[in-house]
């Protein structure tokens, strides 16, 4: 079927009530006037149609491509892309030739209508229109589309049936043709698997000779006891379609096995050679075959009839039989091995584990009761199945590889696999050769679902605790009863400058403590003082040793570890105090500097005040002394006193200047142990600013 055929088939399902159509007919309304769109949509929905709308031609084309309506109501005069352009675009594409298009136009001239019909319109309705007329035209054209689609489906079915018949009757490589027919039927009738099953003469067994999911040679025996649907076809000699086997009591004996295989629905068509029923065309699907109608049943039966004619052909049938003789011989060898295996049956049945016996390439020969309970499969249905098919989809290749390694002579240890089925299981599988039986293998399968779940949870808990300990802000060190370090987190590595690899299991606790530190720690834990016996709470100040033996101040807390009353070791929490001590010293220095700064500020203020207060009287003293010195003659005995007063006042003025320039607090030794302010150091630049000796300026 080409892409165009598939597209036509989907349009046909939208178009009308033909066989296989299961959803409402879809109509697209395209008009730039919202009032008209809403009116038509409401009327069409009321008649049971699925309705889409578009406001212009461009949107209409996009929705036709995306949603594939069966009919388009199209206004001619619109923005962006008018109706004529829409017609030309759609009619230029073969996949939309079956789309029914009715144009709606207020320009009802003959020229406009002729242009619209020539562009590809199927019909037209003039505006203003009556809703009844539009609905009648819609229904008529949908019927036309449905009839055309039905004819197209019949044409396609006829072409495919002719092709299949020619292939079945015109070639000799029957095995390949049967496989190809099974694949094409599975595709056309939308099923997951199609197989050809031929009946043995006695009528209680069958042989699968072709399947859609296998291109190789097939000749697999099946017991009809496990296939009640084939029994029903043998009884009624009519096609059988069961859309949901879960609701049909016919399948009650094998529902669990079918659920294991994920089968939901089946369809069977009898193969007749004259009046003799020689087999069935067998379809299985994981979803309900709700789309099966008269067309699908007729198609399947016609293919079955053509297949039966080809199979009944004596010459071709003989060729198939000769080709399967080789497989029959191999099967006989397997059956001989199975008879040998029966000698071990009592041992297998008494085993607590599920046990499978397979031939060289992994097909199941035997399984014990425990294996039946584990898989939910009966021995009858399991016989001949590849053991790898019991594994989940993700583990099948690995399971097949495990058996292949065993067949090659490799020693295979236990491995975990996921089994598929109603209740997914984790199993542990070991493989070994059956003693003395060559290429026959015994597989021991143990359910470890709960064990693996517990182990996974424990691993998650362990990882969580490790991450939690590593995320701790304190160094965590745990030791066993012998004093060996068993836990050393990231903070401990940073504190001691040692890695966990170097310490865990390698180092004794005493190596991390100063001499006698381990004994002192033990005594502290034995006392009832710091938090009680076996505990150190709150933390105490201690010292530990770094990589190079450097003492490191820490706050230490700890506790003995007990499990069910038994002493298991000791855990210590260590908090590095180096940064705290460093910060404390820096704070002390800062406080000292602050005090010094405050002293200097007070001294500067006091000096300024004193200088200000002393300056005025000194100025007066120096002025009057200078006046006396000038007025008194040199011979006057008071002249010498006036000179002395002037000199000492000048000296005092210099001292006041120095006091006024004090900026820092410095002292010097004075009499005895006393210290006085060093004015020369406290008032920098004084020597540069001091005037000439005897200068009377203040």
Give the model confidence (pLDDT) of 112-140 as tens digits: 888 888 888 888 888 888 888 889 889 98
Q: Which CATH code is given to the segment(s) 3-156?
A: 3.40.50.2300
Q: What is the pLDDT of residues 542-576, one digit of tens each?
A: 899 988 888 999 988 888 887 777 888 888 888 88
Mean pLDDT of the 433-459 span: 81
pLDDT given for residue 484 in this prediction: 92
Residue 316 clears pLDDT 60, i.e. is over it = no
Cβ contact 105:124 at 8 Å: yes
Confidence label for 532 from pLDDT (cuts 50, 70 and 90): low
Mean pLDDT of the 308-337 span: 58
Count the Cβ atoms, other than its own, within 10 Å of residue 681: 14
Q: Which CATH code is given to the segment(s) 472-576?
A: 3.30.450.20
pLDDT given for residue 42 in this prediction: 93
Q: What is the pLDDT of residues 158-171, one digit of tens each?
A: 666 666 665 555 55
Q: Which CATH code is given to the segment(s) 336-452?
A: 3.30.450.20
Q: What is the pLDDT of residues 568-588, one digit of tens each?
A: 888 888 888 888 888 888 888
pLDDT given for residue 3 in this prediction: 35
Which of 163-167, 227-231, 332-336, 507-511 has the lowest average pLDDT?
Answer: 332-336
Contacts by 573-581 with C-beta closer than 8 Å and gap 24+?
573/472, 573/474, 573/475, 573/476, 573/539, 574/474, 574/475, 574/476, 574/477, 574/492, 574/495, 574/544, 575/473, 575/474, 575/475, 575/539, 576/475, 576/495, 576/552, 577/541, 577/553, 578/552, 578/553, 581/553
Q: In the chain, what are the domain boundaries?
A: 3-156, 173-312, 336-452, 472-576, 588-689
* C-alpha distance from residue 562 to each of 223, 472, 473, 567 (Å): 64, 21, 24, 5
Sheet hosting strand 535-545, strand order edge to edge:
485-488, 475-480, 566-576, 551-563, 535-545
Cβ contact 167:181 at 8 Å: yes
Same topology, domains 336-452 and 472-576? Answer is yes
* Alpha-carbon span 335 to 342, nearest angstrom: 11
Residue 693 clears pLDDT 50, i.e. is over it = no
Mean pLDDT of the 602-619 span: 77
Q: Which CATH code is given to the segment(s) 173-312?
A: 3.30.450.40
Mean pLDDT of the 651-669 span: 71
User: Could you say which architecture CATH assigns to the domain 588-689?
Assistant: Orthogonal Bundle (1.10)
pLDDT given for residue 618 in this prediction: 80
């Amino acid at each position: 079927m080409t892409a165009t055929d598939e597209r036509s088939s989907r349009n046909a399902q939208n178009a009308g009530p033909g066989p296989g159509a299961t959803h409402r007919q879809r109509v697209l309304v395209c008009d730039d006037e919202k009032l008209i769109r809403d009116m038509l949509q409401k009327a069409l929905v009321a008649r049971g149609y699925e309705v889409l709308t578009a406001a212009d031609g461009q949107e209409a084309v996009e929705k036709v491509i995306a949603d594939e309506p069966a009919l388009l109501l199209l206004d001619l005069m619109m923005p962006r892309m008018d109706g004529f352009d829409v017609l030309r675009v759609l009619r230029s594409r073969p996949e939309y030739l079956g789309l029914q298009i009715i144009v709606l136009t207020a320009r009802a001239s003959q020229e406009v209508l002729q242009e619209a019909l020539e562009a590809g319109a199927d019909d037209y309705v003039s505006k203003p229109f009556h809703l009844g007329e539009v609905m009648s035209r819609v229904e008529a054209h949908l019927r036309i589309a449905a009839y055309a689609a039905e004819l197209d489906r019949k044409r396609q079915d006829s072409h495919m049936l002719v092709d299949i018949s020619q292939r079945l009757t015109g070639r000799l490589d029957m095995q390949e043709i049967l496989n190809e027919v099974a694949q094409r039927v599975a595709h056309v009738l939308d099923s997951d698997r199609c197989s050809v099953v031929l009946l043995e003469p006695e009528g209680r067994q069958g042989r699968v000779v072709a399947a859609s999911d296998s291109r190789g040679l097939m000749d697999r025996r099946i017991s009809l006891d496990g296939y009640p649907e084939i029994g029903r076809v043998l009884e009624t000699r009519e096609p059988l379609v069961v859309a949901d086997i879960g609701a049909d009591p016919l399948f009650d004996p094998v529902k669990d096995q079918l659920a294991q295989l994920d089968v939901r629905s089946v369809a069977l068509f009898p193969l007749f050679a004259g009046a003799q029923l020689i087999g069935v065309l067998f379809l299985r699907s994981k979803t309900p075959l709700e789309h099966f109608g008269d067309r699908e049943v007729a198609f399947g039966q016609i293919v079955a009839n053509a297949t039966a004619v080809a199979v009944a052909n004596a010459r071709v049938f003989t060729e198939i039989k000769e080709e399967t003789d080789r497989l029959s011989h191999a099967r006989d060898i397997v059956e001989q091995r199975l008879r040998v295996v029966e000698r071990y049956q009592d041992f297998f049945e008494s085993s607590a584990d599920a046990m499978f016996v397979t031939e060289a390439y992994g097909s199941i020969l035997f399984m014990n009761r425990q294996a039946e309970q584990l898989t939910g499969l009966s021995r009858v249905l399991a016989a001949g199945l590849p053991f790898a098919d019991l594994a989940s989809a993700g583990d099948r290749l690995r399971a097949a590889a495990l058996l292949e390694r065993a067949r090659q002579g490799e020693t295979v240890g236990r491995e975990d696999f996921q089994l598929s089925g109603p209740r997914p299981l984790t199993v542990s599988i070991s493989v070994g050769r059956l003693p003395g039986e060559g290429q026959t293998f015994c597989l021991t399968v143990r359910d470890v679902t709960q064990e693996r779940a517990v182990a996974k949870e424990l691993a998650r808990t362990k990882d969580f605790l490790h991450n939690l300990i590593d995320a701790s802000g304190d160094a965590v060190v745990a030791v066993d009863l012998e004093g060996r370090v068993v836990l050393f987190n990231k903070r401990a590595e940073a504190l001691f400058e040692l890695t966990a690899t170097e310490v865990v299991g390698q180092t004794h606790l005493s190596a991390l403590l100063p001499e006698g530190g381990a004994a002192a720690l033990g005594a502290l834990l034995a006392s009832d003082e710091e938090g009680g016996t076996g505990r150190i709470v709150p933390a105490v100040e201690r010292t530990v040793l770094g990589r190079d033996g450097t003492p490191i101040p820490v706050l230490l807390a700890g506790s003995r570890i007990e499990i069910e009353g038994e002493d298991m070791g000791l855990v210590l929490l260590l908090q590095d105090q180096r940064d705290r001590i460093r910060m404390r010293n820096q704070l002390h220095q800062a406080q000292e500097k602050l005090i010094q700064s405050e002293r200097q500020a007070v001294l500067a203020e006091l000096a300024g005040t004193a200088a200000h207060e002393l300056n005025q009287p000194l100025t007066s003293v120096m002025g009057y002394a200078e006046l006396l010195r000038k007025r008194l003659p040199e011979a006057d005995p008071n002249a010498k006193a006036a000179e002395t007063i002037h000199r000492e006042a000048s000296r005092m003025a210099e001292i006041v200047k120095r006091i006024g320039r004090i900026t820092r607090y410095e002292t010097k030794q004075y009499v005895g142990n006393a210290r006085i302010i060093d004015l020369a150091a406290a008032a920098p630049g004084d020597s540069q600013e001091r005037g000439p000796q005897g200068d009377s300026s203040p």
